[in-house]
Amino acid sequence: EAQVTQNPRYLITVTGKKLTVTCSQNMNHEYMSWYRQDPGLGLRQIYYSMNVEVTDKGDVPEGYKVSRKEKRNFPLILESPSPNQTSLYFCASRATGYSGHYGYTFGSGTRLTVV
Amino acid sequence: AQKVTQAQTEISVVEKEDVTLDCVYETRDTTYYLFWYKQPPSGELVFLIRRNSFDEQNEISGRYSWNFQKSTSSFNFTITASQVVDSAVYFCALSESTQGGSEKLVFGKGTKLTVNP
């Protein structure tokens, strides 16, 4: 089944403790992206990657890092999480050049709480 | 810069009423894509429709229909004979797709639809 898999689904952590949210897709998509969703603000893009070793900042990159060493994986790294990073996070992917009938495929989301 | 505006923050209707969710977008590109996603209380994002900038035909899928008008930069979504299961947050999104270039998907802030029995 074609899908984007995020882990974990839920995470509670403490301020300053480094964490990684994983994202993996099995569709051989070039483009991958991370979003955070906050009440009243909708979804905002954190980082995106056009292909392996090609990443760029979105609208709200502060406090986050990403890497794209393999095509299928695009982990989101919080080196020193803070409470303002408490949010619902989504990973998405799509093929570049032709987005196909379904456009972007989203993961199921990761609900992160930083205390 | 890209921008998507969903002016209706919350809408409440009674079952079987028709409801239209508004979406207005801004872009400088001539090639772009518009999307609608549904987010039910469970939280996942469910794809509803994709429309490219060269296809202004309206689309109907069951009780759902979409009206794309480039002249007013709008991509409105209508649910006919609404049902309780339609209760969700609906997002409109805009993607500027540049071959080999950067790409960005921008979301509106969403419209929360509540359908009461």
Among B52, B98, B107, B111, the strongest candidate for a mutation testing the A interface, having the largest count of A CBs within 10 A, is B107
C-alpha closest to that of B7 among B20, B66, B96: B20
Which stretches in chain B have pLDDT values below 70? 97-102
What pLDDT score does A45 carry?
92
Is 60 exceeded by the pLDDT of residue A91?
A: yes
The dihedral over CA atoms of B35, B36, B41, B42, expressed in degrees to the nearest 10, equals -40
Cβ proximity of A64 and A47 under 8 Å: yes
Is 70 exceeded by the pLDDT of residue A59?
A: yes
Give chain B's end-to-end CA distance (angstroms, integer). 41
In chain B, what residues touch A106 (CB-CB under 8 Å)? Answer: 37, 44-45, 47
Contacts of B57 (CB under 8 A, 6+ apart): B68
Contact A101 B50 (CB under 8 A): yes
In chain B, what residues touch A39 (CB-CB under 8 Å)? Answer: none
What pLDDT score does B99 carry?
54
Is 50 exceeded by the pLDDT of residue A101?
A: no
- Chain B nearest C-alpha distance from A79 (Å): 25
Cβ proximity of A115 and A26 under 8 Å: no
What pLDDT score does A99 carry?
52
Distance CA B110, CA A48 (A): 22
